Structure 1
Amino acid sequence: MKKVSLKAACVLLAGSFLCSSCIGSFSLFNGYEKWQCNMTSNKYVNGIVGLILQPIVGGICLTVDAVVLNTIEFWTGSNPLAANQVKTVMGQDGRYYAIKTLKNGYEVKSPTGEKTLFIHNANNDSWSMTQNGVTKEIIRFNADGTIQATLQNGEKLNVSNDEAGVMQVREAVYNENCYAMR
């Protein structure tokens, strides 16, 4: 029976940690892979360039992701590369909206170019909406585990942080809109 050297055991152990995504999303490496697959419209050119770049650039991206970025994401709960990513999402109205991830929230750009900001305030654990220069607090997480929702008329409503609380807010919004129509 052959003895397994300590170096081989360390390499296998390190490889098992790198192959598991339990500590992060590997966003740098996944972004590089997405770019590599879509750098040209010709899949054969992408494959050839990928064979050249993958050992060097892919290895660097994977190492930086595994050692630095995923560790930061694991301990802080936020992805350092998530800021300034833009995704296009279809709204309930059938139109497409561009959603940009910010360090402390989101920027939603409508098809007409209007921007709405949803900003998280870490000091008081609240989310606010800014539209046309007007900022309104939407929700605040209270220390006792409840949520303070702000309705359109400015009224504050404290609800539990569960499905029953969501239903209370829905009913309040529905009733507010029904009375406004009368």
Structure 2
Amino acid sequence: MKLTALCAVLGGSLLCSSCIGSFSAWNRLKDWNMGIGHKAVNEIVFIAFHIIPVYEVAYLADVLVLNSIEFWSGSNPLADVGTDKVIQGENGEYLVRTNEDGYTITKMGETDRPLDLVYNEENRTWNAVAEGQTFELMTMNEDGSVTYKEQNGEKVTVMPR
């Protein structure tokens, strides 16, 4: 009886924690499966990974361990630090490198002028750093809202939905 009550309380606390997390392990596994080839091969791997509970173990690891670490530490233990992605933008292609504290964005062919987007954990701000100058872009407030400056200098606070 006590064990059942304890399990119910712990299960309920997971549902009420408001921490959804990024589910990095499960998403990486799913993305890997989707990228291995033909859709028939993907389906066979999908079914096999449910028979041998690979998806279930990855999901459980995310729910019980990785998302909890992400919630309490503020960082994702499986973040792709040091990886590069090429993104097609409105004005060409950009190379985006993931850093521990943000991102470095470089327009392809212009390697001498990178833009760093840096998160300052102490001040809870996202900053743009370019050509030796730092500009505060936004502040992540305690109540979940975000404050930013418009071009005219006016501060605007936006609440999440």
Q: Same fold (TM over 0.5)?
A: yes
Shift of 1:61: 1.2
What residue in structure 2 maps to residue 53 of structure 1? Answer: 49
Letter in 1 for 2:58: C
Give the SS at the match of 2:98. Answer: strand
Query: Higher strand share goes to which structure?
Result: 2
Deviation at 1:106, TM superposition (A): 0.2
Q: 1:97 aligns with which of 87, 94, 119?
A: 94
Please give the alpha-carbon distance, in whole angstroms, between the structure 2 residues aligned to 1:125 and 1:10: 36
Show the counterpart of 2:158: none
Give the alignment partner of residue 32 of structure 1, picking from 29, 32, 49: 29
Question: TM-score, normalization: structure 1?
Answer: 0.57
- Give how far 1:29 is off: 0.4
- Structure having the higher helix fraction is 1
**Cα deviation per residue 1:5-58 (whole Å; 9 max; x = unaligned)?**
x76x959x859x58x984312121011111112112x11122212322343321
The alignment covers a number of residue pairs equal to 140
Structure 1 residue 73, shift from structure 2 partner: 1.9
Alignment of 1:86-125 (within 5 A): 86-93=84-91, 95-112=92-109, 114=111, 115-122=114-121
The answer (yes or no) to whether the contact 1:89–1:99 under 8 Å persists in 2 is: yes
Once the two structures are superposed, residues 101-131 of structure 1 have per-residue CA deviations (whole angstroms, 9 ceiling, x without a partner) of: 221010113221624333334456662525x
**Aligned AA (2:32):** W
Which is higher, the Rg of structure 1 or of structure 2? Answer: 1
Instruction: Report the TM-score when normalising by structure 2.
Output: 0.63
Q: What does residue 44 of structure 1 align with?
A: 40
Q: How far has the Cα of 1:78 moved from its partner?
A: 3.0
Following superposition, the deviation at residue 86 of structure 1 comes to: 4.5
Of the three residues 167, 173, 176, the one matched with 2:151 is: 167
Partner of 1:78: 75
Uncovered stretches (5+) of structure 1, i.e. residues with no partner: 1-5, 143-160, 171-182
Query: How many percent identity over aligned positions?
Result: 32
Over the residues paired in the alignment, what is the CA RMSD in angstroms?
A: 3.9
Is contact 1:29–1:65 with CA below 8 Å preserved after alignment? Answer: yes
With CA pairs under 8 Å and 6+ residues apart, which has the higher RCO, 1 or 2?
Answer: 2
2:115·2:128 contact (CA, 8 Å) conserved in 1? no
What is the SS of the residue equivalent to 1:47?
helix
